[in-house]
Amino acid sequence: REMEVDLQTAWRDRQFFLVYQPIVEAESGRIAGFEALLRWRHPERGLVSPSDFIPVAEETGLILPLGAWVLTEACVAATAWPESLFVSVNLSPIQFRGAEAFRQVRSALESSGLAPSRLEVEITESTLLHEGPMVRATLEQFSEEGITVALDDFGTGYSSLGYLRTLSIGRIKVDRSFIEQVETSPQSLAIVRAIVGLARTLGLRCTAEGVETEGQRRLLTAEGCSHLQGYLLGRPGSAEEALRRARASA
């Protein structure tokens, strides 16, 4: 297909880049870290969304070299920030086949010199859905090395709550769809309350995604959600912008 060919060209011609979105400590308002988000600038079509091209990169296997590049690029960027800040990187389920994820993370940390405690990896419920001994062992190795595993888009997938107990997960990211309606829908509020309460009880950090209004910020902070992410706190920006924001916040 056309997209497959375009992606090969994009990889060869270095059309990919990363942007960084701040993740803020709810109580203090300080930046705690940044999520690295992949972008593709196509010479004719302009910016292509990762939701459009990541599935194709997963089918073709390009996600393996691309994912390795994302990890290294993000870790190198984070070495320039104040030491208290972390960088969070999204991992595809494909990267967990054959222990690739562990090798790639190890290599990114070694080549960048970033402390493992400053790296978070975001996995989705789909990674856990086909969970084999490999995923479990990899997550355990991550957490033994001090790397935080964050469960992304929490609440939208199929994972059972048992995962939170038996897998080495350090953070829950509450999906944006719940945050969007948290002020208007009693059901969404109830779900957010339950997730935030669960995180607190289990001693997990908790990031609310897609925070766009002051009202959401106040409510989530009052509920005890530890971290906030969304356009209200900052849109994704270039590596240079992240560095400026990181220094200004320290």
CA-to-CA distance for 54 and 60, rounded, in angstroms?
Answer: 10
Contact flag: residue 49 with ligand G (CB under 6 A): yes
- Candidates 10, 26, 38, 220: give the one binding ligand G (CB under 6 A): 38
Report how many residues bind Mn ion under the rule CB under 5 A. Answer: 3
Interface pick for Mn ion out of 73, 120, 125, 152 (rule CB under 5 A):
152
Instruction: Select from 23, 24, 54, 174 the one that contacts ligand G (CB under 6 A).
Output: 54
Interface with ligand G by CB under 6 A: which range of 154-162, 187-195, 218-226, 229-237? 229-237
Residue entry with tokens 């829908």: 185
**Closest approach of ligand G to the CB of residue 93, in Å:** 9
Identified binder of ligand G from the candidate list 48, 86, 87, 92, rule CB under 6 A: 92
Contact window for Na ion (CB under 5 A) among 160-168, 206-214, 217-225, 236-244: 206-214
| Binding-site member from 100, 120, 122, 180 for Mn ion (CB under 5 A) | 122
Are 206 and 197 a contacting pair, CB within 8 Å?
no
From the list 209, 226, 227, 242, which residue makes contact with ligand G (rule: CB under 6 A)? 209
90 binds ligand G (CB under 6 A): yes
51 binds ligand G (CB under 6 A): yes
Least distance to ligand G, CB of residue 200, Å: 21
Instruction: Tell me: does residue 50 bind Na ion (CB under 5 A).
Output: no
Question: Can you tell me the distance from the alpha carbon of 243 to that of 217, in angstroms, rounded to the nearest whole number?
Answer: 24
From 23-31, 77-85, 220-228, 230-238, give the range in contact with ligand G by CB under 6 A: 230-238
Residue 6 or 95 with smaller CB distance to Mn ion: 95
Name the residue nearer to Mn ion (CB basis): 112 or 229. Answer: 229
Instruction: Give CA–CA dist 168/128, Å, rounded.
Output: 12
